[in-house]
Amino acid sequence: MFRNFKLVPNVIFGRGCFEQLDEIIKKQRKNDDSWVVFVTDDVFQDKPLEKRLPLHDNDMLLWVNVDDEPKTQYVDELTLEVKAARSTLPCDVIGIGGGSSMDLAKSISLMLTNEGSSTLYQGWDLIKNPAVCHMAVPTLSGTGAEVSRTAVLTGPEKKLGLNSDYTVFDQVVLDPELILDVPKDQHFYTGMDCYIHCIESLEGTYLNEFSKSYGEKALDL
């Protein structure tokens, strides 16, 4: 039995491509009352990035605090907050920040369409329904959250991810400009390394040849 890999189906990469986020989201705004949740690391509050978020009138800016690793209780609270905000589900959930912010965005998008607490879905392929469309804008490299099929959560009983093909982002926006301010030892090109970790951790087939080639290239850069 070989593993059928679910990959991120849409990737945009380039210095300044964050400017295209509004246009990318537009395809999801199918009705007049369509709305988008921007799950954003609260370190960006009152920072230039806040003003650059392509918020429309009906959208929701959801600041998240990731001083601690994401907890199931926090996910459940945030999901309730999103559900309570409008009479419809959002058409898109955007995660903006590092690994924890992206994992929170993934978790919220999943919990909007899967009933009960997120603790019920910690494990392998327990998620029953596809998530709301969700996209990632990483501002920190090397986390791998933008390409992985899990969203790591700490629960009352266990620290375990919502691990599912549905967890994978529908779109990733990779803009090197957004990570200019991170410490020097966190190079953007370790982002390529994520692909290795992601794929190698899943299976030891020839697919590793793909991932190894990324690794070799990452070392070159």
Under rule CB under 8 A, residue 123 binds its own copies: no
Of 86-94, 123-131, 148-156, 209-217, the segment contacting its own copies by CB under 8 A is 209-217
Nearest to 99 by CA among 36, 175, 41: 41
Alpha-carbon distance of 66 to 71, in angstroms, equals 10
Q: Select from 15-23, 35-43, 52-60, 72-80 the region that touches its own copies (CB under 8 A).
A: 15-23
Q: Please give the backbone phi and psi of residue 93, each rounded to the nearest 5 degrees, phi first.
A: -120, 120
Environment class of residue 220 by beta-carbon count within 10 Å: exposed (0-12), middle (13-18) or buried (19+)? exposed
Tell me how far, at minimum, the Cβ of 202 lies from its own copies, in Å.
12
Q: Which residue in 155, 143, 147 sits closest to 100, CA to CA?
A: 143
Stretch in the footprint of its own copies (CB under 8 A) among 46-54, 136-144, 178-186, 212-220: 212-220
216 binds its own copies (CB under 8 A): yes
Q: Which residues in the 139-158 window bind its own copies by CB under 8 A?
A: none
Q: Is 128 in the site for its own copies (CB under 8 A)?
A: no
209 near its own copies, judged by CB under 8 A? yes
Round to whole Å and give the CA distance between 214 and 221.
11
Eight-state DSSP code of residue 176: G
| Binding of its own copies by 217 (CB under 8 A) | yes
Chain residues binding its own copies by CB under 8 A are 1-14, 16-17, 20, 24, 171, 192, 205-207, 209-210, 212-214, 216-217, 221
